[in-house]
């Protein structure tokens, strides 16, 4: 299924690889070109991508010109790149209609994880998330999702991600038609060829989307943004609890058939007590779930404070003592506003100030 922006036709990069191949094959036959051109062209979409057809030097000039006319390649425009002292890199991409999205590259040894966005903004309003303060802008197309990978590979083929997590802007399972296609592009051998077990979809618990993900044959990973094991406290943090209640989300996660991860941001005085740890352990044991504990990213949510390091250790140890595998994740990119939505909020504020107080002539 292809998601379209108003008055914007889908491109080859909005199609699953098999569909893109079929369209290219038909064009090659109609142009009277030799069939081996199909392989050469398809490889330039994702396997060995080019920013424009003129860079595909293995193709004759007349073919490159014809491809540019028939199948122009869209681009994400890199507006800002920030590199942290810990190696984390944050990217702000400007889309063709002026909207902007973020992605974050996180190196760890041989692993290169890219956190990508699935929507411009977010409608869910989680109190600890800077993206939630933006509100919902629109869904991304398949290209705009996978283009966050593509642009990095074009710029530096050695930076190709080994892992992709849908944990950037937006709720991926509220944009399932585009995310469905994007998952295929990321995983397919004629796409980016990233193993399904190295691709994680994170959700606050959108049950119809969880069912759709479960029905795919590939073993994509599922992470659930939990953040409280108590429905009432969770509702205070995450308004989505009103629509998709924790009990129902956990029951759907039990049907997933593969190991689930609970994502849990620790916020001082809100969800980091001993009783929170005990109730979380009970939920995690029921599912055999892994728990990622994440200190609240400073600056991502005004008015909220990260749990102290000692309290985080005690929380993690209490989970482990209850038989739950729990990992405390480091806060990465603290010096570059790497919390989801932070860079967007900062850059948009600068743009507004520039419009209000233009530079002197």
Q: Report the distance separating Cα 335 and Cα 244, nearest Å.
A: 35
Topology (CATH) of 12-70: DNA polymerase; domain 1 (1.10.150)
Global pTM reads 0.91
For 137, the enclosing helix (H) or strand (E) is: strand 136-139
Interval 117-140 mean pLDDT = 92
Return the percentage of the chain with pLDDT > 70, whole number.
88
Tokens of 314: 């005690």
In 3D space, the residue among 241, 248, 320, 224 whose CA is nearest the CA of residue 278 turns out to be 320
Residue 239 confidence (pLDDT) above 60:
yes
Q: Do 12-70 and 77-350 show the same overall fold? A: no
pLDDT in tens, 197-228: 999 999 999 999 999 999 999 999 999 999 99
CA distance 30 to 144: 29
Please state whether beta strands 111-115 and 100-108 pair in parallel, antiparallel, or not at all (unpaired): antiparallel
**pLDDT (0 to 100) of residue 300:** 63
Q: Considering only CA atoms, which of 151, 149, 152 is closest in space to residue 187? A: 149
Instruction: Report the pLDDT value the prediction gives residue 336, as an integer from 0 to 100.
Output: 47
Domain 77-350: give its CATH architecture. Alpha-Beta Barrel (3.20)
Q: Domain residue spans in the chain?
A: 12-70, 77-350
Q: Residue 361 above 80 pLDDT?
A: no
- Give the tens place of pLDDT for each residue, 324-354: 999 998 766 555 454 555 555 555 555 554 4
What pLDDT does 352 receive? 52
Range 132-150 average pLDDT: 95
Calculate the alpha carbon distances from 220 to 61, 118, 166, 207, 223 in Å: 40, 16, 11, 16, 10
Q: Which two tokens stand for residue 134?
A: 């933006």
Phi, psi of 45 (to 5 degrees): -80, -50
Residues serving a catalytic function are: 102, 340
> What pLDDT, on the 0 to 100 scale, is given for residue 206?
98
Check if the beta carbon of residue 263 is closer than 8 Å to that of residue 202: yes
CB 114 within 8 A of CB 104: yes
Percentage of the residues of the chain whose pLDDT score is greater than 90: 81
Residue with more model confidence, 357 or 169: 169
Mean of per-residue pLDDT scores for the chain: 91
Q: What DSSP character marks residue 84?
A: -
């Amino acid at each position: 299924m292809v998601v379209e922006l108003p008055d914007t036709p889908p491109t080859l990069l909005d199609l699953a690889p098999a569909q893109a191949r079929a369209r290219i094959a038909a064009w090659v036959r109609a142009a009277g070109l030799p069939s081996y051109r199909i392989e050469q062209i398809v490889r330039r979409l994702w396997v060995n991508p080019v920013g424009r057809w003129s860079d595909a030097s293995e193709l004759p000039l007349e073919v490159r010109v014809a491809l540019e006319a028939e199948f122009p390649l869209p681009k994400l425009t890199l507006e800002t790149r920030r590199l942290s002292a810990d190696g984390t890199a944050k990217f702000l991409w400007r889309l063709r209609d002026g909207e902007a999205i973020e992605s974050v590259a996180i190196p760890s040894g041989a692993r290169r994880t890219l956190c990508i966005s699935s929507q411009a903004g977010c409608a869910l309003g989680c109190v600890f998330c800077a993206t939630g303060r933006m509100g919902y802008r629109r869904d991304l197309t398949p290209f705009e999702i996978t283009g966050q990978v593509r642009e990095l590979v074009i710029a530096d083929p050695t930076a190709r991600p080994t892992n992709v997590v849908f944990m950037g802007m937006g709720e991926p399972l509220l944009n399932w038609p585009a995310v469905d296609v994007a998952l295929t592009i990321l995983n397919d051998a004629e796409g980016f060829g990233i193993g399904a077990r190295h691709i994680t979809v994170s959700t606050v618990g959108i049950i119809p989307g969880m069912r759709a993900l479960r029905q795919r044959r590939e073993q994509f990973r599922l992470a659930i943004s939990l953040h409280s094991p108590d429905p009432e406290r969770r509702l205070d943090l995450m308004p989505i609890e009103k629509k998709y209640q924790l009990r129902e989300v956990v029951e759907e996660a039990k049907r997933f058939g593969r190991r689930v991860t609970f994502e849990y941001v620790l916020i001082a005085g809100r969800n980091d007590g001993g009783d929170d740890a005990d109730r979380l352990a009970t939920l995690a044991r029921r599912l055999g779930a892994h728990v990622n504990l994440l200190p609240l990213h400073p600056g991502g949510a005004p008015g909220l404070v990260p749990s102290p390091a000692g309290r985080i250790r005690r929380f993690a140890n209490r989970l482990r003592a209850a038989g739950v595998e729990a990992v405390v994740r480091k806060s990465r990119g603290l010096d570059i506003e790497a919390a989801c939505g932070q860079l967007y909020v900062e850059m948009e504020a600068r743009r507004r100030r520039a419009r209000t107080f233009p530079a002197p002539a």
